[in-house]
Chains A and B, each alone.
Chain A
Amino acid sequence: MTFAPAPGLATAAATPVAPPDALLTRLDPRLRVGAALAFALLVAALSSLAALGAALASALALMALSGLAPRATLRRMAAMDGFILIMLILLPFTTPGAPIATLPGGLTASQQGLHLAIDIALTANAVILMLMVLVGTMDPVTLGHALGRLRVPAALVHLMLFTVRYIEVLRAEQARMRQAMKARGFRPRTDLHTLRSLGYLVGMLLVRAFERSERILQAMKCRGFTGHLPLLDDMRLRRADLCFALAFAALLTALAGLELGLVRIA
């Protein structure tokens, strides 16, 4: 079974798409996943603001190289910030330490808390931006194959590839059922009838998705499926990949050096 993205999927997903000939998109997908992972692990361990700032700056620089539309990409990064904003605001007031400011109500902000909040904000933004640049520019099927080649458990890879393949089928099924409901005069209101009807819709989608999955499995078994998906593409490391790997390793080393005080920003 080969996995082609369902038609319409690329247009349906609001993913900022990098031009296919951009420098980063031509790199080996496994390398991009590995680099993003190494970057995330290192940045999570950093605590000096200089090193964290440099990490965010390098992610921004790579975004410029990647050919991603900066506005859309930064807007998505800001969307992630929305999730942690409350925590960032509360941290200075909830972390014990040297007081730096007192609110009229008697709440005291600590210097350690402020440092922690900045640390988390920089870490989160640097990592999410690097993920969007290196991994987010990959189409989901390529990502699945790369994960498979990186020896991620087959069950997880299959789960991801099947989700990519069938999410559009489910969406279309849901849309057809909604049309059929509309054709019989259904209009959502705040009443029990609406809740019950929408509940039936969700329930029926689940039942059908389950039955479809069994039919697909049967069809795959008929074609010799035994739990192993052969991946057709071969991924090879080229010279450009090697150069990128070396440059990225140098970047990570520099970040670690900054953290340990071995390197100073002039």
Chain B
Amino acid sequence: MSALLDLHDIHFAWPGHAPVLAGASLRIAAGERVALVGANGCGKSTLLRIALGLLRPAAGQVTAFGRPRRTEADFHEVRRRAGLVFQDPDDQLFCPTVREDVAFGPLNMGKTRAEAVAIVDAVLDRLGLMHLRDRITHHLSGGEKRLVTLAAVLAMDPEVLILDEPTNALDPDNEARLLAILQSLPQAIVLVCHDAGFRARLVGRECHLSGGRISPG
């Protein structure tokens, strides 16, 4: 089976700092759920951003959906088909209302406003978030913000969902709700999460990132 995402021998360093990634490789197959584990600052978020072309590696190949991806234009398609949920929901929510924020991705994909609104309603309904539809995004609680960012990414109907510490600052109820939603999704998932219990209930495979390289756990 061909991999959805295949990061091979990725090297990366921030200017003036020691390398964060030094030959990291990661393969995600269709429908697979994988956790990426490692200490704070070991380069997990960096690796996820490289997979979406938001950062460029110093060396290494990114293959996504069967094709090598090098230029900014190559990654436009990757970003439509792989949905990244950011670590801090506030980075992601920038529109005044929930409805507009969830519609943002579909509109970028070329949907008409009417189609986008229909998608928004469908996704919010599926996640049980219809009551938040017309709320102001920055007045939402932390748990609500997290679920809305997930809805905003699911509205683009990605083939793989990339979650960067989605349980940060969630109370047990919201965490259970998030877990139930994620378990019900057919998408492949790449999960970065420090909570071993959450990982164990969601993913089948764990990869450890340390010293800039990935070893299967």
* Bound: A1/B8 CA distance, A: 46
The answer on a CB contact under 8 Å between A185 and B52 is no
Across the interface, name the chain A residue whose C-beta is closest to B89: A180
Q: Which residue of A lies closest to B97 (CB)?
A: A200
Are the CB atoms of A184 and B156 closer together than 8 Å?
yes
Task: Evaluate contact between A184 and B152: CB separation under 8 angstroms.
Answer: yes
Q: Mark A53-71, 1 if CB is under 8 A from B, else 0.
A: 0000000000000000000
Choose among B76, B94, B156 the residue that contacts A180 (Cβ–Cβ < 8 A).
B94
B side interface size, CB within 8 A: 28
CB of B108 closer than 8 Å to a CB of A:
yes
Report B168 CB to chain A, min CB distance, Å: 15
Contact across chains for A180 and B86 when beta carbons are under 8 A apart: yes
How many Å lie between the Cα of A184 and that of B80 in the bound state? Answer: 7
How far is the CB of A197 from the nearest CB of chain B, in Å? 7
Is the contact region of chain A dominated by helix, strand, or loop, or is it mixed?
helix
* Interface check B107, CB cutoff 8 A: yes
Specify which of A177, A183, A187, A193 is in contact with B94 (CB 8 Å cutoff). Answer: A177
Given A173, A181, A187, A200, which contacts B100 in the complex, CB threshold below 8 Å? A200
Q: Identify which of B100, B104, B107, B138 contacts A207 (C-beta below 8 A).
A: B138
With A179-B54, A186-B108 already in contact, the answer to whether A208 and B153 are too (CB < 8 A) is: no
Residues of A within 8 A of B (CB): 11, 173, 176-177, 179-187, 193, 197, 200-201, 203-204, 207-208, 211
Residues of B within 8 A of A (CB): 16, 49, 52, 54, 76, 79-80, 83-84, 86, 88, 90-96, 100, 104-105, 107-109, 138, 152-153, 156
